Structure 1
């Protein structure tokens, strides 16, 4: 309980600081992101029925990765299962570029976590952000969003039916992007063992979980070598 409370307090402090930064940034570049057609005041992330747990809660997750063709923020065709994730340890989150609250904060927090993992090779660990609003989120918008929040990983969008199916398999689909659950997935694609974490991601927790999975791999490899 003490660990959970300490983690919650630390996360609240980070979120408050980043939220203030996001608000200033969003006001400055709303025109470049073509956000005028969205009303930020009406955007409130709501947990769906499967995400009624408190922030920071974890669940084991059955994850199926789509291999249908998508596109990344450069416009290149990508396949989530085979070339974006492969057999790597992966952190997946879900965003839409017109979001002015949770998505930018989540992205900034994950950027902090990724920055603490630079000692781990990119062929071992990867981060992925998937659009929940593919009809709006063009590669250009994803590129601008990633750059604005210091995210140097793969962002994916694509045809609506492709993205809707992929998100459904990850239990992350919502008919309204503004209602999508605030959550991330962390897991090892080589073992298909994933955890779903709700709420804003704590960078220290994400880093620790990734390092735990890397350590488990190393131990398994050592055992197999004998």
Structure 2
């Protein structure tokens, strides 16, 4: 963990003085399977969840995904400890390989609480949802670290490109 913190300290972080503008996204109610094998539409599942922090990851990633997951693990710890009205959603960008069982292992490895959902879907539904979030197509190894903070019910989101500090991410999410 100390080595990860050293890596985090050397990476550029988001300057929260210039908060990103919100954007309205039209999200499909694509059927998603969580790490407990429960299937429900993305929008249906999260419509009443309030503010969500959405990340995009894949289990076999060895570059930015583990760092993003470490940041989100700290956020998750605070969500639970402080009973914050936030939900974290990790959507796999590798639906062919990231089964619910693999997502459950990844969630357990980072100590994810039940406030952190890990979702996968059929490839066509995954790509439809990723497109609606504005993620560029391309090799999964080339994805940039990006989070979206918003409300699935209203479709309003703020896009964060980069690696935010956990406290700044929580401040942004609780103020959304």
TM over 0.5: yes
Structure 2, unaligned runs of 5 or more: none
**CA–CA distance in 2 between the matches of 1:85 and 1:56?**
28
- The structure with the largest helix share of the pair is 1
CA contact (8 A) 2:56 2:90 kept: yes
1:16 aligns to what? 7
TM-score by length of 2: 0.82
- The structure with the largest strand share of the pair is 2
Runs ≥4 residues deviating over 6 A = none
**CA–CA distance in 1 between the matches of 2:60 and 2:78?**
27
CA RMSD of aligned residues (A): 2.4
TM-score by length of 1: 0.65
Please identify the structure whose Cα radius of gyration is greater: 1
Structure 1, unaligned runs of 5 or more: 1-12, 20-53, 214-226
- Larger RCO, structures 1/2 (Cα 8 Å, 6+ apart): 2
**CA–CA distance in 2 between the matches of 1:205 and 1:146?**
23
What displacement does 1:85 show? 4.4
**CA–CA distance in 2 between the matches of 1:14 and 1:64?**
36
Q: In structure 2, the residue corresponding to 1:207 is in which secondary structure?
A: helix
Aligned residue-pair number: 165
State the Cα deviation string for residues 61-101 of structure 1 (Å, max 9, x = none): 33222212111111111221111343511100000000012
State the Cα deviation string for residues 126-166 of structure 1 (Å, max 9, x = none): 11000101011111111111111222211111110000000
1:179 aligns to what? 142
